Amino acid sequence: MTEQPARLRPEDIAVVIPALNEALRIREVVEDALAHCPRVIVVDDGSDDGTAELIADLPVTVLTHPQRRGKGASLRDGFAEALRQGAKAVATMDGDGQHSAADIPRMIDSANRYPDCVIVGARLRKRGCQPWYRRIGNDFGDWGISWACGFRMVDTQSGQRLYPAAACAMQDVPGEDFVYEAQMLISSTRRLGLGVVALPVDTRYADAGHAFRKSHFRLWRDLRLITAHVVLQVLRHGNVIGAYRRTRGTRPMVDDPTGKFAGDSVRHQPTHTG
């Protein structure tokens, strides 16, 4: 009889928050994360607006890059610190306040239902509030990254995720900045055989009630870099047409008991390729 993995609890999780000039929202984001998880790691990526000073009195771990190294380097360092502290899984969220820490318990529950999967906080709720050009960019990114992973996914650009420790421990994951996040999904599925589950979440965009700093994601530049990287990954894995047909024949896995957001209930089984 196969032994079931131990259920994750909030104290088993580390929340990793990459931060670059997040003075506007960082304290609010960190306090919200602490309300749901006792272990929070902030990686200050060379901020020059006092980001780290604004949370200096909070019970969190702050890692500091003297100069900007990019989101990929921040996540790598955050993962390493989380594993050093004994975390069994790592939740990531951006420092700009667009993600809600209230979704962390839901992500933990989803990870317990799907223990061999990466949980992606998919911005499916109130999707109409997302700027149209970001929606188009996200859909295009989903198309390419799904092809590279071997099954369809939704909102592959979301920075709100929960990774099993095994994914965070992977070495030599290529890519920098936002390309790294795309490659984490590809490497998790191809190297470890993990699935990817979308958990519908809300996200906040600038309106009369919320002010946010300008996004660090430059749509056309970063999408071009992600696309070029993903194309190389697709070619590397070979059987390009066959892989595309198999990918399009799947449906995204969506953890949604309400049934509002359609998805498969059967877990995909990605192929290990080393």
- Nearest partner of 185 among 250, 120, 236, judged by Cα: 120
Q: How far apart are CA 171 and CA 215, in angstroms?
A: 28
Comparing C-alpha atoms, which of 123, 139, 99 is closest to residue 199? 123
What pTM, to 2 d.p., does this model score? 0.84
Q: Determine the pLDDT at residue 273.
A: 46
Q: Which pLDDT tens digit goes with each residue over 214-225?
A: 666 555 566 667
pLDDT tens digits, 243-259: 788 888 888 899 987 76
Residue 32 corresponds to which amino acid?
D
Q: How far apart are CA 2 and CA 232, in angstroms?
A: 38
List the structure tokens of 33: 């994360």
Average pLDDT over residues 185-212: 81
> How far is residue 188's CA from residue 92's CA, in Å, rounded to a whole number?
15
Give residue 274's pLDDT band: very low, low, confident or very high (50, 70, 90): very low
Which domains are present in the chain?
12-248 (3.90.550.10)
Amino acid at 121: G
